[in-house]
Amino acid sequence: MSTTAETTSTEPVRHSGGPGSVSVRADRPLGWTRADTVRTSVALAVAALLLGLAGWLTITDGEGLGGSNAAFALLIGAGLGILFERGRYCFFCVFRDFFEKGDSRGLYAVLVSIAVGMIGYAVVFSMRVSNPTGGTIPSDAHIAPVSLALVIAGLAFGLGMVISGGCIAGHLYRLPEGHLRSLPALVGVVLGFGAGFLSWDTMYSGFIAGAPVPWLPAGSGYTTAVVLQLGVLVGLGIWLLRWNPPVTGRGDRVVDATEVRRLVFFKRWPALATGAAVGILAVLAYYKDQPLGVTSQISSLTRTGMDAAGLLPNFMPGLDERLAGCVAVVVHTITTNGWLIAGIVLASLAAALPGRRVKVEPLTGWNSLTAVIGGVLLGWGSMIGLGCTIGVLLSGTQAMALSGWVFGAAVVVAAGVGFKLGLHRRANPGVYR
């Protein structure tokens, strides 16, 4: 067994491709060190913990801990954690690459996940609501009111994502990689949810109450809605090709154990495959339990604490009338959404360790403060928008709800402005120079 030192080649592969072309670093020698043995052992232990926990939840039927779907949610979260970490399915990273580097390739993962999820949702919808034009909207899908509040929420969320260095899902999967700035960011998210609860009555009565709830299939059926939205996705994909810089090939490769290890644990997984897999998991999650989202448990625990402290009224209009989305309710246990979050965190750690991507990013007073500020914007935007980029943008567009597109457009606009102004660099100058 080789004990080659963990050094990497920094010699780039040069090629001519214009100002938008990409220089790819030469493949680094992998080798195997004692540290690799430790990392791999820990990763296997985490994977065993995940499987053992899922087995225990299955045997106990999740009694008192999320119910019969707890194990399923944990495994769905584990799948997402692996895909997020290995496919770099991170809205912060995707938008930063696009606005700062002119590289749209990561956006294709999002487009594909919407397309795959939309087709799967249409099949599930057809089994549950046979006639979508009859005025019945699936209450268990993330189909939310469209109002000025949703736009404001998306703008706040987009700015918070840039300033804090990630969306909420991004912080959950990057924390196990050693991204310690995610800790104050998540604290800020909780504070933001609290601020959202305190301002909810004003936003609800002023903008959300009575707002329309557009659902594309309600107009002319599932087939037309799928074709229409698929056309929009294809159009966006064609338009984004102008920011799809060429990358040189890797030459002749020998498919051996080292190459498989490189592809599985070190190389970023292909965007299209990652997006398709996320879309499939989203459909399975909706069919079996509920739409994907990562804020329900966090916001519910925040509301529970504020309720116990007497800071909130017993009844909150809209929220307690089950508005569609990652709605917060008072809870005293782990919900299936909590198990999904646990799966994301644990699986992303197991995926990062064998690829040597667990590296502690030091905290400073400044980057901690800006992380909290960004987190507050994330939490407030998620509270008022009834979810985040996973729960509203992704699950909403997959459900063919206009709310998903409106929230997503607001997030993109705010993120674009934030990246163009370099707010991420000012917030964390030690990383983004």
| Residue 182 CB-density burial (10 A; 0-12 exposed, 13-18 middle, 19+ buried) | buried
How would residue 248 be classed by pLDDT, with cut points 50, 70 and 90? Answer: low
Tens digit of pLDDT for each residue in 260-276? 999 999 999 999 999 99
The pLDDT, as a whole number, for residue 249 is 60
Would you say residue 177 has pLDDT above 90? yes
- CA 230 – CA 115 distance, rounded (Å): 6
Q: What's the pLDDT score for residue 9?
A: 37
- What number is the average pLDDT over the span 113-137? 95
* Sign of the torsion formed by the C-alpha atoms of 196, 202, 207 and 208: positive
Side chain identity, residue 291: P
What whole-number distance in Å separates Cα of residue 101 and Cα of residue 287? 38
pLDDT surpasses 60 at 27: yes
CA distance 107 to 266: 21
Q: What pLDDT is stored for residue 26 in this prediction?
A: 47
- Identify the pLDDT of residue 321: 74
| Structure-model confidence comparison of residues 124 and 26, the more confident one | 124
Q: Is 105 in contact with 22 (CB distance < 8 Å)?
A: no
Distances (CA, A) of 266 to 28, 178, 366, 397: 10, 17, 32, 31
Q: Taking Cα atoms as reference points, which of 95, 70, 289, 414 lies closest to residue 78?
A: 70
Q: Is it the case that residue 254 has pLDDT exceeding 80?
A: no
Q: What is the pLDDT of residues 287-331, one digit of tens each?
A: 999 999 999 999 999 999 999 999 999 889 888 876 766 777 778
**Cα(297)–Cα(315) distance, integer angstroms:** 19
User: What percent of the chain clears pLDDT 70, i.e. is strictly above it?
Assistant: 91
For 73-120, the pLDDT digits (tens) are 999 999 999 999 999 999 999 999 999 999 999 999 999 999 999 999
pLDDT score, position 206: 96
DSSP code of residue 140: T
Distance separating alpha carbons of residues 290 and 97, to the nearest angstrom: 31
Asked if the model's pLDDT at residue 17 lies above 50, the reply is no
Q: What is the pLDDT of residues 356-410, one digit of tens each?
A: 999 998 899 999 999 999 999 999 999 999 999 999 999 999 999 999 999 999 9
| Phi–psi pair at 333, nearest 5 degrees | -155, 180
pLDDT at 51: 97
pLDDT band at residue 53 under the 50/70/90 scheme: very high
Q: Which tokens belong to 29?
A: 């020698």
Question: Is the pLDDT reported for residue 255 higher than 90?
Answer: no
At 256 the pLDDT is 85
Supply the mean pLDDT for the chain: 90
Containing 24, the helix (H) or strand (E) segment is: strand 24-25
- Give 299's contacts (C-beta < 8 A, 6+ positions apart): 193, 196, 326, 328, 379, 382, 383
Which pLDDT value is given to residue 99?
A: 96
Beta bridge partners of 401: 215
CA–CA separation, 237 and 229 (whole Å): 12
Nearest residue to 406 (alpha-carbon basis) of 214, 122, 200, 167: 214
| pLDDT tens digits along 396-411 | 999 999 999 999 999 9
Q: What's the CA gap between 160 and 166, in Å, rounded?
A: 8
User: How many CA atoms lie within 13 Å of 182's alpha carbon, on the beta-carbon side?
Assistant: 19
Rounded Cα–Cα distance for residues 150 and 135 (Å): 23
Give mean pLDDT, residues 57-76: 92
What is residue 329's predicted lDDT score, i.e. its pLDDT?
Answer: 76
- pLDDT of 22 higher than 50: no
CA distances to 22, 24, 250, 273 from 267, in Å: 16, 12, 12, 13
Let me know: does 177 contact 112? Beta carbons within 8 Å. no
Helix, strand or coil, per DSSP, at residue 427: helix
* Mean local confidence (pLDDT), 422-433: 86
The secondary element (H helix, E strand) that includes residue 73 is helix 70-87
Average pLDDT over residues 152-156: 98
The residues spanned by each domain of the chain are 34-247+255-427
Q: Which of 57, 163, 108 is nearest to 381 (CA)?
A: 163
pLDDT value, residue 5: 38
